Chains A and B, each alone.
Chain A
Amino acid sequence: MRKSAITVEAAAQLVPDGARVMIGGFLGVGSPDRLIDALVARGARALTIIGNDTAYPNVGVGRLIEAGCVARAEVSHIGTNPTTQRLMSARAIDVELIPQGTLAERIRAAGSGLGGVLTPTGVGTIVSDGKQVIEIDGASFLIEKPLRADFALLRAHEADYYGNLTYRLTAANFNPVMAFAADCVIVEANEIVPVGVIPPDAVRTPGVLVTHIVGRAR
């Protein structure tokens, strides 16, 4: 299942305005910077972005916020980006705050065919508003639904021609779990290597999950 490389511009054309887009990264580390720049250059609008945070103004996902590409953000934290705060207060962006572990598990549930997850996180807080709470063996859990997207834009360390991926240090974060949970998975890698260079045990995302690999910068 060999893949051919596409350009970042072509990748940005695949993502229509209004799409639900998962984007890997934690405060900009492990975010697909070239794909983000290409979405900004295309003038993408009304995106729903799903990710850990909105980084900083003009860093990582923050670039999409700054350029007015985002209508809605489903994230765990916006404290490092005053622009997101300001747009949220002005009701120019809709923000849903999701506990970080719940965000990871909802994405994992969607990608693994589960109907949701039961978590103690958020019980007794406003996160539980409108959600079902169930008791199991005397403990309370929230039912949290799966979270899917139309696209996942990922950053890997290495990608081989089959789309097998490795990650490096804290740049993995949400990338591996998002690879399971979108209809179209587009990967930007630091290095593209021939098949066989990545040993099977080192593969953290199996290539079958990857739809497109963005070619190296020219």
Chain B
Amino acid sequence: MDAKDIIARRVALEVRDGMLVNLGIGLPTLVARFIPQGMSVAMQSENGLIGFSAPVPEGMENRDLIDAGGGFIAALPGAASFDSATSFALIRGGHVDMAVLGALQIDAAGRLASWMIPGKFTPGMGGAMDLVAGAKRVIVAMQHAAKGEPKIVESLTLPPTAARRVSLIVTELAVIEPTDEGLALRERAPGVSVAEIVACTGARLIVQEVTPEMPLCRD
């Protein structure tokens, strides 16, 4: 199982029946694969649709039906389409139960940076700032380090996406929950020690006496 697979499987366990979920572009999109078939979960794409699945069978693409990453999708029975103002009213208005986003950095306060590396790459925030401001739960799904450098740091060196503290951080090594006291290590990935996690993390972690192993599928 590769890093992305572990992260997507673990995040999928946070999804509950009846939720409206927004999955960000890239790694977060993989989460959809691990949501059980029988579960009633509505997916929102911020370009204006609730209720879709992907990928679309080869040759069956509709040019007017894409997700926020530009990939072709299929509208499911019961789907609803709407304009961008309505889509962001859903997001800002607290109607989205859970947003899953990637991040470039997270700090000890649980703030994320995800939209620019000054002087190098400025893709823009797209809908990320609104999602972090408005979704009921914000889960960050990201690899623990980038090119050997920790992505979880004491304080951000990149511009923040929001002032808000995210709800949960899931990496291929650990599950970490930002709290009033700091970043609490909740779970470790199978075969990964607490010492390894601490060594790969650039911020202080609050470690309990026992750190349980990360589950990767439902009981």
| Chain A residue with the shortest CB-CB distance to B124 | A77
Q: Which residues of B contact A120 (CB under 8 A)?
A: 92, 133-134
| Chain A residue with the shortest CB-CB distance to B119 | A89
Chain B: minimal CB distance from A83 (Å): 14
Encode B188-217 as 1/0 by CB contact (under 8 A) with A: 000000000000000000000000000000
| Chain A residue with the shortest CB-CB distance to B91 | A101
Knowing A30-B64, A170-B45 are in contact, say whether A85-B122 is a contact too (CB < 8 A): yes
A115 near B: Cβ within 8 Å? no
Q: A53 vs B92: C-alpha distance in the bound complex, in angstroms?
A: 20
Which are the 9 A-B pairs with shortest beta-carbon distances?
Answer: A79-B123, A124-B163, A101-B88, A101-B130, A77-B124, A171-B64, A99-B129, A77-B126, A100-B127
Is B64 a contact partner of A170 (Cβ separation < 8 A)? yes
A48 near B: Cβ within 8 Å? no
| Chain B residue with the shortest CB-CB distance to A140 | B163
> Which chain B residues (97-126) contact chain A, with CB distance < 8 Å?
115, 121-126
Q: A76 vs B163: C-alpha distance in the bound complex, in angstroms?
A: 19
Could you tell me which A residues sit within 8 Å of B by CB distance? 26-30, 52-53, 56, 75-80, 85, 88, 95, 97, 99-105, 107-108, 119-127, 157, 167-177, 204
A interface secondary structure, majority = mixed
Q: Which residues of A contact B115 (CB under 8 A)?
A: 97
Q: Total number of A-B contacts with CB less than 8 angstroms?
A: 148
User: Which of B12-20, B28-36, B143-151, B154-162 is found at the contact surface with chain A?
Assistant: B154-162
Is A173 a contact partner of B83 (Cβ separation < 8 A)? yes
Q: A30 vs B70: C-alpha distance in the bound complex, in angstroms?
A: 12
Knowing A76-B126, A120-B92, A169-B65 are in contact, say whether A174-B162 is a contact too (CB < 8 A): no
Is A100 a contact partner of B66 (Cβ separation < 8 A)? no
B interface secondary structure, majority = loop
Is B130 a contact partner of A102 (Cβ separation < 8 A)? yes
Is A76 a contact partner of B127 (Cβ separation < 8 A)? yes
Is B130 a contact partner of A173 (Cβ separation < 8 A)? no
Q: Name the residue in B121, B124, B161 with the highest tally of chain A Cβ atoms < 10 Å from its Cβ.
A: B124
Q: Which residues of B contact A176 (CB under 8 A)?
A: 83, 85
Q: Which residues of B contact A88 (CB under 8 A)?
A: 122
| Chain A residue with the shortest CB-CB distance to B127 | A100
Knowing A104-B88, A175-B83 are in contact, say whether A29-B127 is a contact too (CB < 8 A): no
B37 near A: Cβ within 8 Å? no
| Supplied contacts A77-B124, A101-B91, 12 more A-B pairs, CB within 8 Å | A26-B47, A26-B68, A28-B70, A99-B129, A100-B88, A101-B84, A121-B133, A124-B162, A125-B129, A172-B82, A176-B83, A177-B85
B48 near A: Cβ within 8 Å? yes
